[in-house]
Amino acid sequence: MGKEKLSFKELDDSSGPKTTLWWFFLLAACIKVLLFPSYRSTDFEVHRNWLALTHSLPLSQWYFDETSPWTLDYPPFFAYFEHFLSIFAHLVDPKIVHLQEGLNYSSNTVVYFQRFTVILSDLCLLYGVYRITRKLDSRKQKLIWSLVIWSPMLLIVDHVHFQYNGFLIGILLISLSYLEEGRDLLGGFVFAVLLCFKHLFAVAAPVYFIYLLRHYLVFASAFGPFFHLGQIQQVIQRLFPFGRGLCHAYWAPNFWVFYIMSDKGLAFILRKLGFNIQTPAASFTAGLVGDSSPFSVLPRITPSVTFIMVLLALSPCLFKAWKNPQPQKITRWISYAYTCGFLFGWHVHEKASLHFVIPLAFVAAQTPEDAKHYFLLSIVSCYSLFPLLFEAQEYPIKILLLLLHSILMWSGFSAQFYDSAETGVSTAHTKKKAGQFESKGSLSADVRNNGFVIGLIEKIYLVGLVVVEIWGQVLHPLLLGDKLAFLPLMLISVYCALGIMYSWIWQLRSIVKSH
């Protein structure tokens, strides 16, 4: 690879933007360390158990072990990653990796160790962010770095709730950086590696499909040992547990929220009109596929239906990518693919919004319209994660994170596009004098005159988020007490789904109209 080869050593330069990026990362790390004692979800024990089973058991038993209910359901590369971490976990505290005695182990040693591994694994994100922005001007670099490295969504999901999304998204960004350079072979190779870490990133595989066909050797190194052991069927069953319901326990804000609400509304109306509408025995969140339908009126949704809908939603993007492949648009297309998967996929987790929100941060710095779209989408997606942190002591943290992020975005986008606005006005004035004024410029009229602005509809929608939060935190307990306890969460899902649907339509429109 010669002079094109990059490594973390490049980030050690004591001058220039690399030093600034390190400071961004270190500041974020300090905040993450302060949050060590905060709330932890069951995902914390999930990953601790994976440390234990990959350390204590031979590879042939990894995908069969049921010592804990939190069985291994990530692809082999992530299992290898957990096994690597377990070597150091054993040195820190052997109980962490003990299969039986380690169950629900939550001493400070295991808490600090696991949280530290997430921070350390974020170096992959740091490298991905650096690599994809290294050719941009300084102002755009700092804007994007602040949006990604200081993302409140990553902080909430990875460093409080507990997961490794930053590490995985870092691999995605590295892949995208190669594709943007026209180095398709490396971009496809890295994406294949990503799929062997977390299969849910496969939603973008149709866009990547040419690369994947060329890089089967990556999959051989990941799944080969399990083929040899005759266990590939067991591995696939763990990775794709379609017995789970259409939606997660907390409904992710996607299309199926509206479908479910429509079914419930129709059932209510028909019962009032005297029709005998049975209450379904199955659940949207846990029913077994094929046993019974959780819907009262509308047709039952199966995994195959969601698969077809995702492909249909993706088809305009695939057509564009086939007709006119452009490396500079690949990040936009991949972000759209993950938006489609989030909106129409099966048993989607609300955390999956990270898959398109983070890559879209790189798109947001391109035009004022992209920035306006990202401003709304980022706020809505971050707010949709609030139910993950439900304990009272975390409430001020998540509110503060979202407010600071909103202020940071507003000031960053305003600074980024203020000069562009002045340039647009100056250019238009010059062209008008020369008799060459063009009414269709790259900047809309309000942007040319005011820099970064958001429209009235977006403002009203954002005010609505405040109303939804006030209802859930104040008015509902005051007026209804313990009645309809599901209502605040349902309102968050429905209202945020409107924002995500708006984002999907906006992205689809921009892709279809692009040249």
Q: How far apart are CA 485 and CA 330, in angstroms?
A: 43
The better pLDDT of the pair 327, 230 is held by 327
Supply the pLDDT for residue 410.
94
Supply the pLDDT for residue 391.
87
Residue 481 confidence class, pLDDT cut points 50, 70, 90: confident
Supply the pLDDT for residue 152.
96
3-state DSSP call for residue 15? coil
The better pLDDT of the pair 421, 435 is held by 421
DSSP letter at 102 equals: T
* Lookup result for tokens 């259409």: 246
Least confident of 281-290, 399-408, 428-437, 462-471: 428-437
Work out the mean pLDDT of the chain and round it to a whole number. 83
Supply the pLDDT for residue 56.
94
Q: 291 to each of 280, 283, 297, 347, 348, how far by Cα in Å? A: 11, 11, 17, 17, 20
Least confident of 69-83, 233-247, 497-511: 233-247
CA gyration radius, the chain: 24
Supply the pLDDT for residue 446.
44
Cβ atoms of 242 and 346 within 8 Å: the answer is: yes
Supply the pLDDT for residue 437.
31
Residue 186 confidence class, pLDDT cut points 50, 70, 90: confident
Question: Which phi-psi region, left, alpha or beta, contains residue 325 (left: φ > 0; alpha: ψ -120 to 50)?
Answer: beta
Question: Is residue 495 pLDDT above 70, yes or no?
Answer: yes
Least confident of 37-41, 114-118, 232-236, 389-393: 232-236
Task: Give the chain's length.
Answer: 515
Burial class (CB in 10 A: 0-12, 13-18, 19+), 130: buried
* Lookup result for tokens 């968050």: 492
Supply the pLDDT for residue 331.
93
Cα-Cα-Cα-Cα dihedral of 387, 253, 167, 99, to 10°? Answer: 60
Sign of CA dihedral 491, 493, 494, 498: positive
Supply the pLDDT for residue 129.
96
Q: Could you tell me the two tokens for 111?
A: 């808490």
Supply the pLDDT for residue 324.
79
SS3 readout for 318-357? HHHHHHCCCHHHHHHHHHHHHHHHHHHCCCECHHHHHHHH
Supply the pLDDT for residue 293.
53
Within the chain, what is the greatest distance between any pair of CA atoms? 81
Q: How far apart are CA 51 and CA 98, in angstroms?
A: 9
Q: How far apart are CA 333 and CA 191, in angstroms?
A: 14
Q: Tell me the residue type at 194.
A: L
CA neighbor of 356 nearest in space, from 145, 503, 156, 144: 503
